[in-house]
Each structure stands twice: as C-alpha cells, then as structure tokens.
Amino acid sequence: MSSEESYLAILRYLTNEREPYAPGTEGNVKRKIRKAAACYVVQSGTLYYQRRQRDKERFTELEVVLQPERRKGLIEAAHTGAGGEHLTRHQTWHNLSQTYWWRGESTVMGSSQWGALGATAVMALGEQGISGNVVQLQLQ
C-alpha cells in the first residue's frame, strides 16, 4: 500500500462509521489501519498527524500533504526565504516541519526533484516524515 493509499485508508477509517474499510480489506491490513489511525485526527475534512511535544502534555498537529504537486510547491516556497535568498537544506526542512507532514520526504525531496527546483543540494529528511509537521488531506 502506497503512502497516499495509507492516508486515504486512515481518512476513511476516521470519517466513515458505516464502512470504515474498503471492501475486500484483509484483517491484517485493518489492524494496521486502526493502529496507524491513532496518530491522526480529521478537522473540517483535513487529516492531521498528531505529534506529542517533548516535556508537554499536548500535541502538535501537522497537516498531511498527499498531492505530489502541492508537496513540490511547498518545498519550493520553503526553500526561498522572505528576502528571496535560498535557504539551506536544514532551514528548508525546519520551515516545512513546523506545519506539514508526509511519509517518504527523502524520496519526494530527493535529488531528482530537488534538482528540478534549481537547487544543487539534496534534501534528505528521512523515511519517518517531517517531524513536527501536519499533513492535510481533503475529503473527496
């Protein structure tokens, strides 16, 4: 199951009480969806990843971003500073990680896509997603 399919399955589980799983979903997959859904919440049709803040009792909610085009636009916007200067990988990651979340950022923001943005650096954010970011999904 791709990350986009996983997010859609989680979104369905959290929003569809009558049929929380797609027809034909196996028991093992249902268990994985239930377990993963514990870290997410839906607000106004948008899926958010909840991350516990260190030394605090509350969570940071990060928007889950599914659409590759939107991810690319967010990366491009975060890579350019307020004054038009290009930010480092770390600065770009930090800016994105305050608001957004998606799995496999290192693949999405790998050298081929980063090169398409005109940058020479490769953003390696890891397979665990951008920490502290919220991922947004729109209900269809």
Range of the domain at 63: 3-135
- Using 50 as the pLDDT threshold, list the residues of the chain that sit under it: 106-140
pLDDT for 30? 95
**Which pLDDT belongs to residue 32?**
95
Q: E strand or H helix at 64, and its extent?
A: strand 59-64
pLDDT the model gives residue 104: 62
Task: Specify the pTM.
Answer: 0.68
Residue 81 maps to a domain: yes
Number of structural domains in the chain: 1
Establish if 124 belongs to a structural domain: yes
For residue 8, tell me if it sits in a domain.
yes
DSSP 57: S
pLDDT of residue 105: 54
- 140 in a structural domain: no
Beta-bridged to residue 63, according to DSSP, are 48, 100
Does any domain span residue 7? yes
76 is a domain residue: yes
Determine the Cα angle at 135 with ends 35 and 38, to 5°. 20
Say if 118 falls within a structural domain: yes
Specify the pLDDT at position 25.
93
Q: Is 38 helix (H, G, I), strand (E, B) or coil?
A: coil
Residue 17 lies in a domain: yes
